[in-house]
Amino acid sequence: MSLQQLVTVEDLPRTEKFNKDTRTAGAASVEVNLLKSDGSGIPFFINGVRIDGSETGASVVGTGIDISYRHQLERDLRALATTDAMTGAFNRRKMAEEIEHEIQKYLRNPTPLSIAMLDIDHFKRVNDTFGHNAGDIVLKQVVNLARQQLRDTDMLARWGGEEFMIMSGSTDLHGMHVLAERIRVAIAEHHFKHVGNVTASLGIAEYHPGERQENLLKRIDDALYLAKKSGRNQVQIAGFMP
């Protein structure tokens, strides 16, 4: 069988280029997916060498190495760089990058962009009373409860400690308020094992044209502070500061 018969359809153009480069340059390499019996692919790194010195009808021999493990390591490293290990939510760095990306996208094609910051009420009391293991379980369950209310296009990140950031594109302030309330209620009505009831406060804001990320986050943080100061277990809307 030729190499073209062994690779996935998506890799045919790269395989053809590899064959051509090997014959004309004498040696080449390529990463392709070799077909398994079920139609899926296994990533291989292939080196090829022209062996007869002729560019017309030249023969090529090659060696292939299964690089599935390397690909898995690369995926794991990317996950470590963008994900909070405790909760599985995105981390602060990834969220900050995505907020800036959405702001730049807004400048090209203005569509509503809203963000919420969530803080678990009296979380220190949970840790002090029930222990840090119980606190960790609460963090994970809060993430799961929030995710159940989100769309696939929404983004959830652990911002720090017991604070979480939620970004929702194509969502105006009213839509974000509805979403934030759903999350707040889901948390308040959930029974946390060994802990009981837990509540959360949220501050929300919609991006304004020309606003810097720092200003947007400051408005959200101020709204969250107001929610905590006003009694907790509520959603507060950020005012606009030009």
Catalytic annotation, residues: 162
Cα R_g (the chain), whole angstroms: 26
In angstroms, the CA 82 to CA 185 distance is 28
How remote is the C-alpha of 208 from its chain's centroid?
24
- Return the structure tokens found at 60: 């090529």
